[in-house]
Amino acid sequence: MAQLKLSVCIEMLFNQLDILDRPAAVAEVGLPALEFWGWKNKDVDAIKARADAAGVKIAGFCVVADAPLVNPETTTTWVEGAKESILEAKRVGVPTLIATTGQEMEIPRQAQHDAVVAGLKAVAPFAEEQGITLVLEPLNVLTDHKGYFLVTSDEGFAIVDEVASPRVKLLFDIYHQQISEGNLIVRITSNIDKIGHFHVADVPGRFEPGTGEINYTNVFARMSELDYEGYVGLEFRPSTDPATALKQVKAIAGV
């Protein structure tokens, strides 16, 4: 039974602080890691130095590319951005990169699905060589991301199967998947080997676990029973002060 490793999304928590002060705030609540979204708009070296000083890891950040993964005409451009992001992750010791598909296009859906597979397949050997894992993220289109291409984890897992690389997995965002499809524990249990990262928030409102309809006590317990050893990203809007919200999540997760 693995103890869950929690990673604080410093884009959504402690964002009242200067970004360079957020690693220390993460450490102060006793959590081992942080993550953020884009890397090109940040001083990654400075964040890394502050994280090192605070004794916390950087669990992940996002692929930054000049074209969407979903567009079959720009696969090469996306792959170039993904490779650049992989090298940046490797340089600063970050194990995981989050990949999004982009918005749905007015072309056949299968062509977009195939473009996602093609882009990930093209970059997979480089990710394997560098030891970096890419995690593809489905998002909900009902509440937060209208028009986004990849909605269900079912299609996401199918893409992971098609790519067939140990360095390409799914980011299972429990908040988004509760809205989009539900049946969380069954989907997680059936596909745990294909999941490289989790995100958590409760429904409704995207607040911290314990504020809404998801039974996070049971979900976290099942993830531990499955010996999940990756990071669980805390990507929520705190309904109270961030430190208090994070301590409540620690208690639910048993860490």
Alpha-carbon distance of 238 to 133, in angstroms, equals 28
Question: For 62, how many CA atoms within 13 A lie in the half-sphere containing its CB?
Answer: 20
Q: Which residue type, as a one-letter code, is found at position 220?
A: F
Amino acid 2: pLDDT: 83
Q: Which residue type, as a one-letter code, is found at position 122?
A: A
Chain segment 233-248, per-residue pLDDT in tens: 999 999 999 999 999 9
User: At which residue do the structure tokens 């992971």 appear?
Assistant: 160
Grade residue 17 by pLDDT with cuts at 50, 70 and 90: very high
Alpha-carbon distance of 250 to 217, in angstroms, equals 11
DSSP three-state, residue 121: helix
Alpha-carbon distance of 70 to 101, in angstroms, equals 5
- pLDDT at position 137 over 90: yes
- pLDDT at position 161 over 90: yes
Grade residue 163 by pLDDT with cuts at 50, 70 and 90: very high
Span 185-190, average pLDDT: 98
DSSP three-state, residue 97: strand
What DSSP letter does each residue of 68-94 carry, written as one string?
A: -TT-GGGHHHHHHHHHHHHHHHHHTT-
Q: Which of 189, 82, 92, 93 is nearest to 136 (CA)?
A: 82
Residues of the chain with pLDDT > 70: what percent?
A: 100
Q: Which of 198, 219, 223 is nearest to 210 (CA)?
A: 219
Span 131-140, average pLDDT: 98
Q: Which residue type, as a one-letter code, is found at position 188?
A: I
Amino acid 208: pLDDT: 98
Span 201-229, average pLDDT: 97
Q: Which of 60, 66, 123 is nearest to 88 (CA)?
A: 60
Helix (H) / strand (E) containing 234: strand 231-234
Grade residue 157 by pLDDT with cuts at 50, 70 and 90: very high
Chain segment 26-61, per-residue pLDDT in tens: 999 999 999 999 999 999 999 999 999 999 999 999
- pLDDT at position 144 over 90: no
What average pLDDT does the structure give for the chain?
Answer: 97
Amino acid 210: pLDDT: 96
Handedness of CA 22, 24, 26, 32 (dihedral sign): positive
- pLDDT at position 86 over 90: yes
DSSP three-state, residue 255: coil
Amino acid 1: pLDDT: 82
